[in-house]
Structure 1
Amino acid sequence: MPKGYVVARAKVSNATQWAAYAAKASEAIRKFGGTPLVRGGMMTVAEGEGRARNVVIEFESFEAAKAYAMSQDYAEARKLREGAGEIDIVVVEGV
């Protein structure tokens, strides 16, 4: 069974508020068995638009990744992030 991934790219405008979101989201990631593969770090835009913060989280399956992203646990984290920046998040199936 292919693994599932949550992929996010973000622009942070309030680092303190974002940190509270990240801490709460990390709790949900652990609860749903996710493993962060990329979380911030150096980046270079090779094509198109880029954002400074990029995240890739691996889960055992697409269903597990989707369950995390749609969970009440993550929804609580999301509330802490409101107004602290912009983010795009997708859930994708691995190969």
Structure 2
Amino acid sequence: MPKAYWIAHVTIDDPTAYEAYRAANAAAFAKYGARFLVRGGAQELVEGEMRPRSVVIEFADLATARACYQSPEYQAALALRQPVSTADVAIVEGWEG
């Protein structure tokens, strides 16, 4: 069974308030075994358009990635993020090849 990933591109409007989201999302990520592969490091856009911050989070499988996003723990964290940032987030199944 392939792993799955959250791929997010984020614009943070209020970095101080965004810290509350980062603290709150830890509970959901711990519960669902999330592992950060990319968390806002330096990036170079070579094609197209993208937001200034990229995040890639690995999960055991697609069902776990979806369950984490839909969980009460993450939804509570999301309520803190949405007023202070704009994001494009996709849940993507990995490739076993």
Q: Tell me if both proteins adopt one fold, taking TM over 0.5 as the criterion.
A: yes
Aligned residue type for 1:78: L
* Contiguous gaps of at least 5 residues in structure 1: none
* Contiguous gaps of at least 5 residues in structure 2: none
What CA distance in whole angstroms lies between the structure 2 residues aligned with 1:30 and 1:66?
14
What CA distance in whole angstroms lies between the structure 2 residues aligned with 1:48 and 1:22?
28
1:12 aligns with 2:12: yes
TM (normalized to structure 1)?
0.95
Identify the residue that residue 86 of structure 1 maps to in structure 2: 86
* Count of aligned positions: 95
Q: Structure 1 residue 3: deviation in Å?
A: 0.3
Moved more, 78-87 or 60-69: 78-87
Identify the residue that residue 77 of structure 2 maps to in structure 1: 77
Runs of 4+ in 1 over 3 A off after TM superposition: none
Moved more, 78-87 or 1-10: 78-87
Secondary structure at 2:33 match in 1 = coil
Tell me the percent identity: 40
Secondary structure at 2:36 match in 1 = strand
TM (normalized to structure 2)?
0.93
